[in-house]
Amino acid sequence: MGTSFDPQNSAEFDRHAASYDAQHQKSIRASGEDPEYFAEYKKHCMTRLLGDEYAAPVLDFGCGIGNLTHLLVSAFGNVSGYDPSSESVKTARVRSPGCTFFDDSDALPNSHFGAVVLANVLHHVPVAERAGVMATIARVLAPGGKLLIFEHNPMNPVTRRAVADCPFDEDAVLLYPWEVKRLLRGAGLTRVSLDYIVFFPRILAALRPLEPKLSWLPGGAQVFAHATKPAR
């Protein structure tokens, strides 16, 4: 049996679906960027890890209104999305009509996806339910498949302020980097790795080429973690 998000959270995201981008934009104004920049950033992290010609099915788990999903289509082609907010899925489906979307985690096929991405999802999952969500993802990952997680870094004060200012983050319980790694290992995944990402606001954009060299530094606004499901 699959594990979804708290139904109360799903209803909350149904309510915010139409205004999601505007609220997100307001909360990240200190960065000088819009939501598209951060979605592109995540896509580039994924293509660096998976490769430009990655052909296995990719699942955007907790896809929301599809800000990342529609970019993944151009990068990987075989892309699906899942979100328990049916209103969000309606918007995502319009933006990416060639994708398959799910709003019921039980309907996700077993051992199917070569890669699953959770982009700033886990902080919305109640702490007691996170292990169940990870078990669902381990179920749908193909042997040898990769789970990729992007999360806010609570050690960054600008990130904490952005989360505090965001209406749809009212329920958020941020995860420290070591908690993310512990969840990956607890799901039976191996080759766990974590990098710190997103260091410089737009005003310091000239320094952004340095960011890959700073991946060890805990000051990044977000983290990018990944792990592999053991092959049979």
pLDDT in 10s for each residue of the chain, 232 residues: 334 454 445 545 445 444 444 544 545 555 678 888 999 999 999 999 999 889 999 999 999 999 999 999 989 989 999 999 999 999 999 999 989 999 999 999 999 999 999 999 999 999 999 999 999 999 999 999 999 999 999 999 989 988 888 876 778 899 999 999 999 999 999 999 999 999 999 999 999 999 999 999 999 999 999 999 999 7
Cα→Cα distances 86→112, 118, 148, Å: 23, 18, 23
pTM of structure: 0.88
Structural domain boundaries, residue 135: 7-228
Residue 1 lies in a domain: no
Cα→Cα distances 8→61, 162, 165, 167, 204, Å: 18, 22, 20, 15, 39
Strand, coil or helix: 89: helix
Residue 109 lies in a domain: yes
Q: How many domains in the chain? A: 1
Hey, which bits of 73-213 come out as E strands? 79-82, 100-102, 113-119, 141-152, 190-197
Q: What pLDDT shows up at residue 93?
A: 95
Q: Phi first, then psi: what are they for 161, rounded to 5°? A: -70, -40
User: How do the residues of the chain divide into helix, strand and coil, expressed in percent and rounded to 5?
Assistant: 50, 20, 30
Tally of CB atoms within 10 A around 149: 25
Residue 22 lies in a domain: yes
Between CA 178 and CA 151, with CA 214 as vertex, the angle to 5 degrees is: 40
Q: CA 58 to CA 77: how far, in whole Å?
A: 9
For residue 74, the domain's CATH number is 3.40.50.150
Q: CA 47 to CA 148: how far, in whole Å?
A: 11
Residue 2 lies in a domain: no
